[in-house]
């Protein structure tokens, strides 16, 4: 059999199923499809370049054009969520009484090191 293959000049494709290969139509479609190298960075934010032509990318908000460092981290957000907010101090700011605080206020008594209600 090997001698027959050699004599006929047949290669391995001659001995595989035709369904293992693309049809001529599929090959033509692949030849005309965009390749990875055809899509590159555009000349401006919000654009990509397709075969040398800038194309606008739709649906991007303004955050897409700013550095991630312009925003708070998750840890900073969590800290802000637990921070005293201005409305929490509105009552004491207008009356001056610590009794107006939701939980009252405590101070550290310097001489004994214990806390005491204001």
pLDDT in tens, 30-60: 998 988 889 999 988 889 999 999 999 988 8
pLDDT in the model for residue 116: 52
**What's the chain's average pLDDT?**
80
pLDDT in the model for residue 104: 55
Q: How far is CA 49 from CA 43, 54, 74, in A?
A: 7, 4, 34
Q: What's the rounded mean pLDDT across residues 64-71?
A: 89
Least confident of 9-13, 32-36, 53-57, 95-99: 95-99
Q: What's the rounded mean pLDDT across residues 77-91?
A: 83
Contact between residue 117 and residue 105 where contact means Cβ atoms under 8 Å apart: yes
Contact between residue 118 and residue 104 where contact means Cβ atoms under 8 Å apart: yes
pLDDT in the model for residue 113: 53
pLDDT in the model for residue 3: 76
Place of tokens 């049809």: 23
Going by C-alpha positions, the residue among 74, 73, 49, 46 that lies closest to residue 62 is 46
């Amino acid at each position: 059999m090997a001698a027959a293959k050699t004599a006929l000049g047949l290669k391995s494709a001659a001995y595989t199923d035709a369904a293992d290969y693309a049809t001529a139509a599929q090959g033509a479609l692949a030849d005309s499809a965009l390749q990875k190298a055809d899509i590159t960075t555009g000349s401006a934010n919000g654009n990509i370049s397709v075969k040398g032509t800038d194309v606008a990318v739709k649906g991007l908000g303004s955050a897409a054009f700013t550095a991630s460092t312009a925003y708070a981290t998750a840890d900073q957000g969590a800290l802000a969520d637990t921070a005293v907010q201005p409305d929490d101090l509105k009552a004491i700011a207008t009356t001056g009484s610590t009794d107006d605080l939701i939980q009252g206020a405590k101070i550290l008594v310097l001489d004994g090191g214990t806390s005491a209600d204001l």
